[in-house]
Chain A
Amino acid sequence: MSVFDPLRNFILGYGDIGLVVWLVVCILCIAVPVILAVAFYVWWERKVLGWMHVRMGPNSVGPAGLAQTFADVFKLLFKEYLLPAKSSKLLFVLAPLIALVPAFAAWAVVPFDQRVVLSNANAGLLYLLAMTSMGVYGIIIAGWASNSKYAMLGAMRSAAQVVSYEIAAGMALVGVLICAGSLNLTDIVNAQSGAYGIFSWFWLPLLPLFVIYFVSGVAETNRLPFDMAEGESEIVAGFHVEYSGAPFAVFFLTEYANMILISFLASVLFLGGWLSPFPESWPLLGVPGWWWLFAKAFFFAFLYLWFRAAFPRYRYDQIMRLGWKVFIPIALAWIGVAGVLVYFGWFGLGGAR
């Protein structure tokens, strides 16, 4: 960030107002790329799905169909949005925003490089858990405010599912914080920079938790094969069946922003964030940097799409069984294992110890 220091000092020179302006600039530096990433991610999803279905995917608007998402977004924004006659009007309009805010607020503590983070909060991991757990309100409120049976069913399913999988994801994070000895995400990444390179990242000692975390992440973002909240073939479109135009676009944006967030978090927590997979002595390839984090996050984002193309939708009781009877016991057991590993000093350079 040293390049930006003169700009920072210049803006901060204006006192309290300067501080607010600087924060807003920082927030925009994260929020705008996230929105753009969502646009290209949607394009990439449609391309990948197309290839997996042996068809072309979007290819007409712009080079290789790249402008397709933007065309869709503008179409949605200019469309009329309908308020169902007997809906709860205020909540109906608020619901997409309530879903959107936590999805973007969570990005505040995601570190992109050694010093590139908006808020280097000590309780970063807890903050992340709190923010991701609030995302379900948008869905529930949308389902209830629509005053529609399908939307209500989607909201109910989503509430039960997200709360269940949050427990499993939270347990997986407990394992990470035991090994790292810190709740700060930058410290967690630094705790993974051991002598064994790729093998000192947390994915190996915490392999079950790693799998549980990412699968729970897929379930928490209501993506296939866990998309009970939408379930097009069962309950039409679930919680957003009554939404159209811009509010629908906001729901769409939220879902994809959450997916990218989970991809980043899985890379930061288990795959060593911006650390390079190669030994540091290698020229160029061994240098740690944000590009490694982005490459890892891209891999997880791709997994999302792969899952979508490869798996049929889970039945509801199967989802609940997987969450409560498989993931949570395994996670609990592995927290014990992690405690033993730390006790016998397998993780020598925990951040806080």
Chain B
Amino acid sequence: MTINLILFYVFSAILVLSALGVVGAKNSVHAVLLLVLCFFTTSALWLLIQAEFLAIVLVLVYVGAVMVLFLFVVMMLDIKIEPLREGFIRYLPVGVLVAAVMLAEMLLLIGVHNLQVAAPADPAGASNTAWLGMALFTQFLLPFEVAALILTVAVVAAVMLTLRKRSGARYQNPSQQVAVKASERIRIVKMPSIAKMPIAPKTEAAP
């Protein structure tokens, strides 16, 4: 237990520091990378309470996919840092207010004394992956399917909103390209492998 406790404090400290870094970093790419560290540390914390499925999925989905695309976008956009920093002090009270309300809500939700409880016991003694799957596909099947549907709609909507046919752009026709045969592209010319070449005469004519 002591090792778990030490690890908990180490991970928590890293989590809090990196979260502060996300807000305070001057470079937006550094901020995104610190956010990745946040997610990773959170997942380590979840592993400590044996929520292995949630922990690994957090790494898989957020670190492995979402943040990669986030990083992609942030690197592509050439964000100027200075204008972003200007409003920092001005908007600080609003940010503090939002953070305080969120903290209060979380404390209400969890209940302060619940924070003292030790790690929850494993319901089945085995993998909680199987348990989560059981619950999702029996008890919560309808909400699960509805959530999946909403996400799919969101994906389609995002594509539809941003898709535009630009004039002047050239498009490939993949099926045409796949169906192409070598004979349409290259012409093989038969040539004798040994050609009669004029060889230097045996005896040189006198100049």
Contact = CB atoms under 8 A, between A and B. Distances in A.
Contact of B63 (A91, A134, A160): A134
A352 interface: yes
Interface string A141-158: 100100000001001100
B151 to A, nearest CB: 14
A137 B36 contact: yes
Interface string B15-38: 000000000000101000100100
Interface in A1-41: 16
Given A16-B3, A130-B56, A159-B71, A122 B64 contact: no
B21 to A, nearest CB: 13
B147 interface: no
A141 B33 contact: yes
Interface residues of B, number: 26
A159 B69 contact: yes
A162 B130 CA distance: 28
Interface in B90-127: 126-127
Interface in A311-344: 317-318, 321
A130 B59 contact: yes
B53 A134 contact: no
A321 B33 contact: no
A268 to B, nearest CB: 18
Contacts of B129: 122-123, 126, 183
Contacts of B3: 16
B192 interface: no
Q: What is the size category of the interface that chain A forms with chain B? A: 20 to 34
Please classify the interface of chain A as helix (H, G, I), strand (E, B), loop, or mixed, using the class held by over half of its residues. Answer: helix
Interface string B34-76: 0010000000000000001100110110011100110110011
B63 A156 contact: no
A21 to B, nearest CB: 15
Task: Pick from B60, B71, B174 the residue with the most CB of A within 10 Å.
Answer: B60
A146 to B, nearest CB: 12
A156 B76 CA distance: 8
A185 interface: no
B75 A144 contact: yes
Contacts of B126: 122
A115 B60 CA distance: 27
A160 B73 CA distance: 11
A133 interface: yes
Contacts of A318: 174
Please classify the interface of chain B as helix (H, G, I), strand (E, B), loop, or mixed, using the class held by over half of its residues. Answer: helix
A166 B61 CA distance: 11
A129 interface: yes
A137 B68 contact: yes
Contacts of B59: 130, 133-134
Interface in B157-177: 172, 174
A285 interface: no
Interface string A104-133: 000000000000000001110011011001
Contacts of B36: 137
Contacts of A130: 56-57, 59-60, 63-64
Contacts of A16: 3
B65 A352 contact: no
Given A16-B3, A122-B129, A123-B53, A156 B72 contact: yes
A56 interface: no
Contacts of A91: 33
B53 A133 contact: no
Contact of B72 (A160, A166, A183, A352): A160
B77 to A, nearest CB: 12
Contact of B52 (A122, A133, A140): A122
B60 A133 contact: yes
Contacts of A122: 52, 126-127, 129
Contacts of B53: 123, 126
Task: Pick from B3, B65, B68, B127 the residue with the most CB of A within 10 Å.
Answer: B68
B65 A129 contact: no
Contacts of B29: 144
A163 interface: yes
A348 B57 CA distance: 29
Contact of A166 (B57, B65, B71, B75): B65
A178 to B, nearest CB: 11
B173 to A, nearest CB: 11
Contacts of A155: 75
Contacts of B33: 91, 141
13 contacts: A91-B33, A121-B52, A122-B126, A122-B129, A126-B57, A126-B129, A133-B64, A141-B33, A144-B75, A152-B75, A156-B76, A166-B65, A183-B127
Interface of A: 16, 88, 91, 121-123, 126-127, 129-130, 133-134, 136-137, 140-141, 144, 152, 155-156, 159-160, 162-163, 166, 183, 317-318, 321, 352
